[in-house]
Amino acid sequence: MKVLRTGAILVLLSVVLVVAGGALGGRGGMQIALVIAVVMNFVSYFFSDKIALKTSGAQPVSREQLPRLYQVMERLAAKANIPVPKLYVVPDAAPNAFATGRSPNHASVAVTQGLLQIMNDDELEGVIAHELSHVRNYDILTSSIAATIAGAVTYMAQMGRWAMIFGGFGRNRDGDRGGGGFTALLMIFLAPFAALLLQLFLSRTREYAADETGVRMVGHQQGLISALEKLGAYNKRIPTSAISPSTSSLCIVKPFFGAGTLSSLFSTHPPLEDRIAALKQMSVTPLR
């Protein structure tokens, strides 16, 4: 069911992209939208992990430097039947963690110094299991595709706004009306909003799924529940100094940037209270 739901959201995002392209530029607009999506997906597929690690200042660590982290990672990776990801530490006092990479064979997991300092063994195990669940479920690739399609929709809307400012859309070279009118106006404002909501819904769905898979990987939910409670408390008062807003959607909890935030409706993460409540009600079954 979760796979079907994810597929349906990606299909809806693609539909929004094509419809917006058609409304704003006719057949030519749809072709441009599809080209943008393909190019952006290609870049994201091969380079999103490097960008996330570079922008956060993550540094690779060896087994000798962090044997505790390696022991937890190797044990859980064996349970999940995936290769051990490359391990990184982010020089940040705010506790957090994220996974990135296009597949289990090309994955990296990064944790902040703050997380390593405050988590006990059970809590660290819960956090790592959550991140490995993202790797095992190909969530990083799925989220990257969704983000690039949503970005292409926004880009098309921006093109439409500039076209209206400088004389409307006119006709394309095939003789079709290339947008304009009430439909194009609606697409300029509604298409990016619809794409954003679908992207956020997908992100929230994958967070719940990673919590569930992580608990099944460990065999109990106490460690992850305690970790989420602790992360929620610390992240309300310690702003991140390393993780950028573009990387925040990858994190186990939304980082605190030291300023007011928008309503939870527009957050990439479900409320921590809801995640913890779902975990408390969960019946744990072994991971297969």
The active-site residue out of 64, 123, 125, 131 is 131
**107: Cβ contacts below 8 Å, ≥ 6 apart:** 49, 82, 83, 85, 86, 99, 100, 101, 135, 140
Pick from 44, 89, 92, 90: nearest CA to 70? 89
* Residue 243 near residue 179 (C-beta atoms within 8 A): no
Rounded Cα distance, 148 and 239, in Å: 27
How sure is the predictor about 2, in pLDDT bands with cuts at 50, 70 and 90?
Answer: low
Q: pTM of the prediction?
A: 0.78
Q: Where are the alpha helices (DSSP H) in 106-243?
A: 113-118, 121-136, 139-165, 181-218, 222-234
Tell me the C-alpha distance between 68 and 49, whole Å: 24
Domain ranges for the chain, please list them. Answer: 2-280
Could you give the dihedral angle defined by the CA atoms of residues 73, 100, 104 and 142, in that order, rounded to the nearest 10 degrees? 140
Q: How confident is the model at residue 213 (pLDDT cuts 50, 70, 90)?
A: very high
Mean pLDDT of the chain: 81
> Judging by beta carbons within 10 Å of its beta carbon (0-12, 13-18, 19+), is residue 258 exposed, middle or buried?
exposed
| 285 has a pLDDT exceeding 50 | yes
Active site residue 131: yes
Is residue 169 predicted with pLDDT exceeding 50? no
Question: Going by C-beta distance under 8 Å and a sequence separation of 6 or more, which residues neighbour residue 30?
Answer: 18, 21, 22
Weakest mean pLDDT among 74-78, 122-126, 137-141, 202-206? 137-141
